[in-house]
Structure 1
Amino acid sequence: MPENTPTGLTGLAFGGDYNPEQWPESVWREDMALMREAGVTMVSVGIFSWALLEPSPGAYDFAWLDRVLDLLHENGIRADLGTPTVAPPAWFYRAHPEALPVTAEGVRQEFGSRGAICHSNAAYREASSGITGQLARRYAQHPALAMWHVHNEFGVPVSACYCSSCAVHFRDWLQTTYGSVEAVNEAWGTAFWGQRYGSFAEIEPPRVTPTVGNPAQALDYRRFADATLRENFVRERDILHRLAPGAPVTTNFMTALSQCDSLDYWAWGREVDIVTNDHYLITDGRRTHVNLAMAADLTRSVAGGAPWLLLEHSTSGVNWQPRNPAKAPGQMARNSLAHVARGSEGAMFFQWRQSRRGAEKFHSAMLPHAGTDSRVWREVVELGASIEQLGPLKGTRTVADVAVLWDWHSWWAQTLQWRPSEDHDARERA
């Protein structure tokens, strides 16, 4: 059975997403030296690299990733190796445009971002299984491998697709769940507004309607979408377990962020070998320390009280909110250690080296644009030393004195249209 901790990691995890493919190879050895200076013990690699690993259908190029993993091993840094299935290559969409997701308004989204996936699509499932199997066979015995990282932030940015393939899949899910269309009619209350169905074939996804649709149908579609995403995780996980036995498999959760309110993490927590979480501060006036504490405690609960791992947070400001302030001096360390105090076996970031190009070029990183002569870098090095000193905490458990009941399905229901108040936020009440 796989371990429930990264293999070969004797202390706490400290590091971040490492994307060497964004940089000339001449930079890689500098990265290694600076990682050692900062006390980095593990990095996440390969998460968005499908187009480089399989530049054309069935043609693979692992040479660059071989060199990266070898460098990491030479420098005593463990690898959280990603399956790059969150970002299929352009050639895949050219061959299978039907794998692009369709919105509830009926608009097919396009390639050019990330996560543009219909998770019911058979071609996507076959292709993602293929690249996952290739990675597993090649790196199962690599000495740098600490664990596998499937996909990335399931449900972000697309939690549900509304295409015809999903309609067929949804009907199958309803038949398995309810057994008969009569049971669906009863559960959904379709006698209201004359919505009664005579057969499963008449049921479609809850696409845009003239006014509010059936809330029970919308709730079931969220359950179906969650189950569909989880099917794809389990499929990849099982390939990795079979071909690379012993290495734990995870995927990064986002337990308390509105950006990923589409997954039932109680169910997901039972499927991963290690529970990991991403957490970013929301700067719209809400009490960020409350959300941080809730996210960490909730993640620990999803892990059944066992240690878990903060796989992503930011050294300073992010770039995807309307306003993205930098963190104050000391705030990065306070946030990181708060997660450790609540059960995380380390503190990981997005990302190691700040990007020069692309959508997240203004997102902070461990090594910022300003380089090593910067406050962020100095705080990163100080935090790395603190994390190293806390190594004896590895394997210990945080015990809570108070319990709060949390249910994702209830939360989904509370956020449907036409409710008593849009001002209610269950997370604040918790």
Structure 2
Amino acid sequence: MGLTRVPGLLFGGDYNPEQWPEEVWQEDVRLMAEAGVNLVTVGVFSWSRLEPAPGVHDFGWLDRVLDLLHGHGIAVDLATATATPPPWLVRDHPEVMPVDAAGTRLEFGSRQGYCPSSPVFRAATVRLARAVAERYRDHPALAMWHVSNEYADHTAECFCPESARDFRHWLKERHRSLDGLNAAWGTSCWGQHYTDWTQIEPPRKAPGPVNPAQLLDWRRFSSDALLACFEAERAVLKEVTPDVPVTTNFMSVLRDLDYWAWAEAEDVVTDDAYPDPADPRAAVKAALSYDLMRSLKRRPWLLLESAPSAVSWRPVNVPKDPGVMRLHSLQALAHGSDGVMFFQWRQARYGPEKFHSAMLPHGGTATRQWRETLALGADVRRLAEVAGSTTRAEVALLLDWDSWWGLEAPESMPSDRLRLHELLLSWYAPLHARGVAVDLAPPGRDLSGYRLVIAPNLYLCTAGQAAALAAFPGHLVVGPFSGVVDAADQVHDGGAPGPLRELLGVRVEEWRPLPDGATQEVETADGTRLPARTWTEWVEADGAEVVARYRGGPLDGRPAVTRRGSISGNGPATATYLSCLPEDPAPLLDEVLAAAGVTGVAGPDLPEGVEACRRGPYLFLLNHGSRTATVPLPTATATPTSLPTATPTATPTTTDAVFTDLLTGRPLPSGPLSLAPGDAVVLKPSEAVLKQS
């Protein structure tokens, strides 16, 4: 069984039949069947149609839609329709609309406008979710429940009086007493000592910088408040239909929600991803987000939304060139998605998304877009056996939302140029270029299954997290400005790196952020010179070996990179600390990869622009570059952990084949293969290779 009861890989998209007359529905399902669509998302923004007046339901049109889809063999990811409250609810209860940090209550007329803490809104969503669940609990088209839509997209936080009451309740649960809160928030600074809970408000716009500890708790609360909305609906769905999986669509690497906590509440992780065709780093950014989705539950996930071509919400909406939709879709499958879904099926004629691309565009079936939709549907069917296969990574990147929120607090840091997403990408990009499989993990997780763990930044680090890292037996790399504060955003006694001090064998005496455009040279032990940007530190080695030093300026000769071996035979084999941000960490990365015994899934010589991912026995190779790439296929004696790919120079006989390309059915021998720009190969090893592995 895969993510749903639908066998194989999933293929389809959001379907909004309420935007079209019913005679169009028949054409839609016919074309869906022609394209190989087997799952559609229905009803995301249908609250006002399903409940046109309080307690009055109109399910007739949705009944007909679900019956029609099921009759053509198409399953449904059925939304609870609670993403946008209907006009009658907003007008009867204007307090359900969110208030911004300046105190302005936002108006109805867009989507997803609601206060997450509003008891009126939450009660109304639960009532509708129950009505929808009881109506369709036994419908044969129902494959998955879709709660709300893209939480925190338009409303990540609300500053209204109801949110203030909910925030105070959350603070009481966390801190237990006003004394505990005052101590955690350090309210003796700037005269903020509270003597009554009613004095506490959300961090609205203030005359100057807001208490960073209050901001950190507010970020935690806002994530939890939205999660409570999801969990309230999920509880109803599980009561009525305990065997139907429940999801809500995530938004890739999103700062506003702690996806580790959210994923625990989901049955299936789903993601909406929109790589920008105009961004040269789009493939790397997408790969990072996909690896996060796979890591959240450490099993296959589902790409629930993507764009066939241009989106409608960027300042300049660049379309995808021919073949890019296919390449982006195969990338998601390579990183563990068990399907490819789009927003949306039929391109809208009106509204804010009328220029957003669709599987079936305005021009209909006489278009390149439709031909690419048909071709991709065929590719997805050819790859059906990949469903359910998993990825084993030997490298983990650490991501902690508390640390992220603390690091990016406004107006109170040594530099606001340290952005966690960019720090993650600075390490992920060279790993991706080398074909190294990467998981993301929270710092408190058991990390013993990895050979190498990289923490690009752990600004906030607790004693428990430090103990988990100290127990890790592999190789550890920790980036700058780590171990600075505790869970209350208070600087650790003795300064950084706080609870990581013994593990890393260093003391940080001073932060030395660099001005924009400035660089600081770093020299490794072998004489390699590396420019660093953005950040440096005055570090004292206290048990660690110095492996690179600063050259030039006031830091000349001082430690830049240190390394400490295992302490008394326990903990990491090596613990490396970088007090700077090298523009290119590749030389340092290659050294630690070699020490950890980690290699790429396609061997050591992956051509530039070629992405290599392995799911179970299957090897995906995708050429994101602008040039044809040549990759050597291993011999039949090689194991499937080192497989490269491309197009054969000669057609082998089946008996010579080491691999089969699932996309074409071609048998492939060992030897050099050519992969054109934008092309991809999915290699299945022969039985001989599998037996030898």
The two structures have a TM-score, normalised by structure 1, of: 0.96
Alpha-carbon deviation of 1:411? 1.4
CA distance in 2, matches of 1:222, 1:411: 10
Larger relative strand fraction? 2
Task: Give the structure 2 partner of residue 154 of structure 1.
Answer: 151
SS of the equivalent of 1:403 reads strand
In the alignment, structure 1 residue 371 sits paired with structure 2 residue 364: yes
Task: Give the structure 1 partner of residue 8 of structure 2.
Answer: 11
Task: Give the structure 2 partner of residue 422 of structure 1.
Answer: 416
Task: Give the structure 2 partner of residue 246 of structure 1.
Answer: 243
Letter in 2 for 1:263: L
Q: Contact 2:270–2:304 at 8 Å: present in 1 too?
A: yes
Alpha-carbon deviation of 1:429? 2.4
Query: Which residue of 335, 338, 346 maps to 2:331?
Result: 338
Task: Give the structure 2 partner of residue 406 of structure 1.
Answer: 399
Per-residue CA deviation, residues 225-250 of structure 1 (Å, 9 max, x unaligned), is 11111111111001001112211111
Letter in 2 for 1:224: F
Letter in 1 for 2:402: H
In the alignment, structure 1 residue 50 sits paired with structure 2 residue 47: yes
Alpha-carbon deviation of 1:79? 0.1
In the alignment, structure 1 residue 195 sits paired with structure 2 residue 188: no
Q: Contact 2:43–2:78 at 8 Å: present in 1 too?
A: yes
Task: Give the structure 2 partner of residue 207 of structure 1.
Answer: 204
Q: Contact 2:277–2:319 at 8 Å: present in 1 too?
A: no
Alpha-carbon deviation of 1:428? 2.6
Alpha-carbon deviation of 1:4? 6.9
CA distance in 2, matches of 1:122, 1:412: 27
CA distance in 2, matches of 1:421, 1:115: 34
Alpha-carbon deviation of 1:284? 7.2
CA distance in 2, matches of 1:116, 1:338: 33
Query: Which residue of 111, 117, 125 maps to 1:114?
Result: 111
Task: Give the structure 1 partner of residue 23 of structure 2.
Answer: 26
CA distance in 1, matches of 2:189, 2:325: 52
Larger relative helix fraction? 1
Per-residue CA deviation, residues 184-232 of structure 1 (Å, 9 max, x unaligned), is 1121121211111112111100000011111111111111011111111
SS of the equivalent of 2:339 reads strand
Pair 1:427–1:227, CA change in 2 (3 A): same
In the alignment, structure 1 residue 325 sits paired with structure 2 residue 322: no
Task: Give the structure 2 partner of residue 354 of structure 1.
Answer: 347
SS of the equivalent of 2:89 reads helix
Pair 1:349–1:363, CA change in 2 (3 A): same
Per-residue CA deviation, residues 78-123 of structure 1 (Å, 9 max, x unaligned), is 0000011111110011110011100010000011111110011111
CA distance in 1, matches of 2:211, 2:279: 33
Q: Contact 1:283–1:323 at 8 Å: present in 2 too?
A: no
Q: Contact 1:341–1:398 at 8 Å: present in 2 too?
A: no
Pair 1:284–1:97, CA change in 2 (3 A): farther
Q: Contact 1:149–1:251 at 8 Å: present in 2 too?
A: yes
Q: Contact 2:2–2:8 at 8 Å: present in 1 too?
A: no
Per-residue CA deviation, residues 14-68 of structure 1 (Å, 9 max, x unaligned), is 0000000000100001001110111101000011001000111111110000000
Task: Give the structure 2 partner of residue 391 of structure 1.
Answer: 384
Query: Which residue of 100, 124, 127 maps to 1:127?
Result: 124
Letter in 1 for 2:234: R
Task: Give the structure 2 partner of residue 180 of structure 1.
Answer: 177
Pair 1:63–1:242, CA change in 2 (3 A): same
Query: Which residue of 164, 169, 182 maps to 2:166?
Result: 169
Alpha-carbon deviation of 1:270? 0.4
**How many percent of aligned residue pairs carry the same amino acid?**
51
SS of the equivalent of 1:148 reads strand
SS of the equivalent of 2:165 reads helix
Q: Contact 1:277–1:310 at 8 Å: present in 2 too?
A: yes
CA distance in 2, matches of 1:345, 1:360: 27
Q: Contact 1:46–1:81 at 8 Å: present in 2 too?
A: yes
Letter in 2 for 1:332: M
Pair 1:291–1:429, CA change in 2 (3 A): same
Q: Contact 2:2–2:388 at 8 Å: present in 1 too?
A: no
Q: Which has the higher contact order (CA 8 A, sep 6+)?
A: 1
Task: Give the structure 2 partner of residue 61 of structure 1.
Answer: 58
Q: Contact 1:314–1:350 at 8 Å: present in 2 too?
A: yes
Per-residue CA deviation, residues 376-403 of structure 1 (Å, 9 max, x unaligned), is 1111111110101111111111222321
Letter in 2 for 1:277: D
Gaps of 5+ in 1: none
Pair 1:424–1:287, CA change in 2 (3 A): farther
Q: Contact 1:4–1:273 at 8 Å: present in 2 too?
A: no
CA distance in 2, matches of 1:193, 1:284: 46
Q: Alignment length, in residue pairs?
A: 423
SS of the equivalent of 2:397 reads coil
Task: Give the structure 1 partner of residue 272 of structure 2.
Answer: 278
Task: Give the structure 2 partner of residue 296 of structure 1.
Answer: 290
Q: Contact 2:278–2:318 at 8 Å: present in 1 too?
A: no
Query: Which residue of 297, 309, 319 maps to 2:302?
Result: 309
Letter in 1 for 2:390: R
Task: Give the structure 1 partner of residue 374 of structure 2.
Answer: 381
Per-residue CA deviation, residues 137-195 of structure 1 (Å, 9 max, x unaligned), is 01000000001000001111101100001111101100000111111112112121111
Query: Which residue of 192, 217, 222 maps to 1:220?
Result: 217
SS of the equivalent of 2:356 reads coil
Give the root-mean-square deviation of aligned CA atoms.
1.3
Q: Contact 1:306–1:397 at 8 Å: present in 2 too?
A: yes
SS of the equivalent of 2:341 reads strand
In the alignment, structure 1 residue 91 sits paired with structure 2 residue 85: no
SS of the equivalent of 1:79 reads strand
CA distance in 1, matches of 2:223, 2:243: 27
Gaps of 5+ in 2: 425-693
Q: Contact 1:296–1:342 at 8 Å: present in 2 too?
A: yes
Letter in 2 for 1:405: L
CA distance in 1, matches of 2:39, 2:247: 15
Pair 1:394–1:205, CA change in 2 (3 A): same
Q: Contact 1:93–1:99 at 8 Å: present in 2 too?
A: yes
CA distance in 1, matches of 2:419, 2:274: 18
CA distance in 2, matches of 1:394, 1:39: 16
Pair 1:394–1:4, CA change in 2 (3 A): closer
Q: Contact 2:100–2:159 at 8 Å: present in 1 too?
A: yes
Q: Contact 1:101–1:162 at 8 Å: present in 2 too?
A: yes
Q: Contact 1:275–1:302 at 8 Å: present in 2 too?
A: yes
The two structures have a TM-score, normalised by structure 2, of: 0.60
Where do 1:258-273 residues align within 5 Å?
260-273=254-267
Letter in 2 for 1:149: H
Letter in 2 for 1:338: Q
SS of the equivalent of 1:64 reads helix
Computing the radius of gyration from Cα coordinates, the structure with the larger value is 2
